[in-house]
């Protein structure tokens, strides 16, 4: 079964080059966040399995370190997992994060983006995957395999390359 066939089987229709599905959520501070509200900015939407786990803590810390440079490039970083807002708040405090963490407790965002992991999504935790959405709301990159140690740098370099050659 190809990735596309698997996506159709699971009800996913997200494709690079097409409009990214809108998402709506509330971050751990109660702030509403949606893709529509971020129009005009690059959006790094990164999904991770679980707050306060080693790999997720490393990935979040790397994004936090890279955040000033990503902001300079016009990008916002949004982390998403199926953990609660209360869990996200503790994670933010522990890792000293300044970017938004969306609580996808109903798993609607993860389902829309096709990242729910484990047993064809039945375990309901987000797989470690990321998406780059351009200022026009078009999905331009999907990272299906992510190394928590190096991913933030990979995202920054991809965005720099796109901006240098005028590709969005």
Catalytically active residues, by annotation: 56
CA distance 145 to 154: 12
- Residue 46 parent element (H or E): strand 42-47
Query: In this structure, what token pair is assigned to residue 51?
Result: 């707050």
Element (H, E) at 88: helix 85-95
Q: Is 121 helix (H, G, I), strand (E, B) or coil?
A: coil
Pick the closest to residue 80 from 104, 114, 56 (CA basis): 104
Q: Is 165 exposed, middle or buried (0-12, 13-18, 19+ CB in 10 A)?
A: exposed
CB contact at 8 A, 120 and 10: yes
Q: Cβ–Cβ contacts within 10 Å for residue 10, how many?
A: 13
- Between CA 83 and CA 107 the distance in angstroms is 10
């Amino acid at each position: 079964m190809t990735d596309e066939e698997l996506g159709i089987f699971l009800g996913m229709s997200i494709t690079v080059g097409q409009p990214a599905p809108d998402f709506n959520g509330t971050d751990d501070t109660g702030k509403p966040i949606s893709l529509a509200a971020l129009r005009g900015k690059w959006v790094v939407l990164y999904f991770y399995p679980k707050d306060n786990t080693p790999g997720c803590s490393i990935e979040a810390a790397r994004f936090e370190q890279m955040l000033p440079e990503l902001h300079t490039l016009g990008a916002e970083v949004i982390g998403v997992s199926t953990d609660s807002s209360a869990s996200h708040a503790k994670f933010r405090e522990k890792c000293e994060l300044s970017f938004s963490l969306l609580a996808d407790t109903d798993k609607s965002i993860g389902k829309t983006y096709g990242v729910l992991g484990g047993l064809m999504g039945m375990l309901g935790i987000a797989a470690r995957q990321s998406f780059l959405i351009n200022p026009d709301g078009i999905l331009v990159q999907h990272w299906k395999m992510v190394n928590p140690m190096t991913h933030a740098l990979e995202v920054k370099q991809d965005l720099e390359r796109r901006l240098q050659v005028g590709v969005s």
